[in-house]
Structure 1
Amino acid sequence: MVKGVLIDWGGVLTTSLSHAISRWIAADRIEAGHYYTVMRELIEHAYKTDDGESIVHALERGELDGPSFERDLAARLRTVDGEPPVPDGLLDRMFAGFERVDAMYDMLRDVRGHGLRTCLLSNSWSNTYPRDGWDEVFDAVVISGEVGMRKPEPRIFHHALDRIGLPGEECVFIDDIEANIVAARALGISGIHHRDPDTTITELESVLSLTLRRA
């Protein structure tokens, strides 16, 4: 029986990362094709290979501060004018397009109302989280840069499970990055690969045998 839900933040409890990035690219006049080439290499290194450490690993664990990462990333990118973007505040601008998805928060309230425990499990990029109302939806909060661990490392999943006092076999994990789902399943945690709210809520209803509220 599932007794706990672990859930990601960006792209799951918010609108998609691709939506936020598209808005930022337009606002900062970033050369899009070059940006996606750079980021594909960084993300694949961080999540899909075992080729050692990268600046993304360090950023997500809090070993590298935001301004340092911004300077590094800005030097790799260019605007449509051929100049690097302004590094100061780059991450805030990148993620400014994230919007809260109320249906997912309503779902979490229902999950807790049915007696299940919930834990936010998020990889941070030195970003500020909008924490208003979190006491209503989370029993625990685990943010990578605050605990010095990152998904898909097994130790951060064990830490999150300890925070809610449940074994992996009694939990389900929701994330929009497949590598994180694969890592969770290897620890006995059920996984739901998030693509959109309706599909995720439907899958969670099936796992929990519950009807959950939608906005």
Structure 2
Amino acid sequence: MTTKLKAVLFDFGGVFTDSPFHAFSSYAAKIGASDEQVTDIVFGGYGVDSDHPWHQVERGEISLENAREDILALGKAQGLNVDIWEVFMAMAENGGGLRNDLVEYVRKIRTAGLGTGIITNNVVEFRDHWRSMLPVEELFDFVVDSSEVGMRKPNPAIFEKALEIGGLAPEEVVFLDDFEGNVIAASALNIRSILVGSDSGKTIADLDEILGLNRANTL
């Protein structure tokens, strides 16, 4: 483990839970659209930070209901009825729950004396729900929620905000996210980053390759 490393920062959705984007296939088929169409209408270009309604709601600039109305209008312009309430229901039905093995690994990280934090693109109306899914106060030193700080990934400013809050330099941090654009943005700031997939065991192995906590336990 590098002596410079002081903290591990995590995304929430798609890291501690299954990716919400996996639910789009069934919903898209239901309304006669492609996955790409629904993703673009609901989330815009997720790899950029723009004035799309979803980006605005994640920055806390508009309410979730306002975003729903604007997204309905975007869908109707393409001849589609895309209702984010139905999208969220599809996500809930396809969700796999909390990745408890990763939660336990976070406990090891904390026991090893390293700091932890969350950087999440999220929505004011979802705050109580996602925070109820895991012991946030116990496991993390701080949370940078896009809807609270008015900036969202992949904007470099949100990573810089997290570093400022944690009193960290980029080279002292490892960051995990399930979206490649966010990993690229963090890496551009010299933050060592891991792209998370659907296998939490691989995520833990990739992280432990850097931290060496499981290897230390076998010596």
Q: Distance in 1 between matches of 2:9 and 2:184?
A: 14
Q: What letter matches 1:165 in structure 2? A: G
Distance 1:90 1:68, change over 3 A: farther
- Secondary structure at the aligned position of 1:166 is classed as coil
Q: Distance in 2 between matches of 1:121 and 1:139?
A: 12
Map of 2:40 onto structure 1:
40
1:147 Cα shift? 0.8
Map of 1:146 onto structure 2:
148
Quote the sequence identity (%): 35
Distance 1:173 1:74, change over 3 A: same
Pick one of 117, 120, 126 that aligns with 2:118. Answer: 120
Q: Distance in 1 between matches of 2:91 and 2:141?
A: 25
Pick one of 94, 106, 131 that aligns with 1:108. Answer: 106
Partners of 1:70 and 1:91 within 8 A in 2: no
Is it true that 1:175 corresponds to 2:177 in the alignment?
yes
Q: Distance in 2 between matches of 1:42 and 1:90?
A: 11
Instruction: Within 5 Å, give how 1:178-197 maps onto structure 2.
Output: 178-195=180-197, 196-197=199-200
- Matched pairs, number: 204
1:56 Cα shift? 2.8
Pick one of 128, 138, 141 that aligns with 1:136. Answer: 138
1:163 Cα shift? 1.8
Q: Distance in 2 between matches of 1:192 and 1:117?
A: 17
1:46 Cα shift? 3.7
Q: Distance in 1 between matches of 2:41 and 2:81?
A: 18
Query: Which structure is higher in helix share?
Result: 2
Map of 1:93 onto structure 2:
89
Is it true that 1:162 corresponds to 2:159 in the alignment?
no
Structure-2-length-normalised TM-score: 0.80
Is it true that 1:15 corresponds to 2:18 in the alignment?
yes
Q: Distance in 2 between matches of 1:163 and 1:42?
A: 31
Q: What letter matches 2:170 in structure 1? A: G
Map of 1:60 onto structure 2:
58
Structure-1-length-normalised TM-score: 0.81
List runs of 5+ in structure 2 lacking aligned partners: none
Q: Distance in 2 between matches of 1:187 and 1:121?
A: 15
Pick one of 210, 213, 217 that aligns with 1:210. Answer: 213
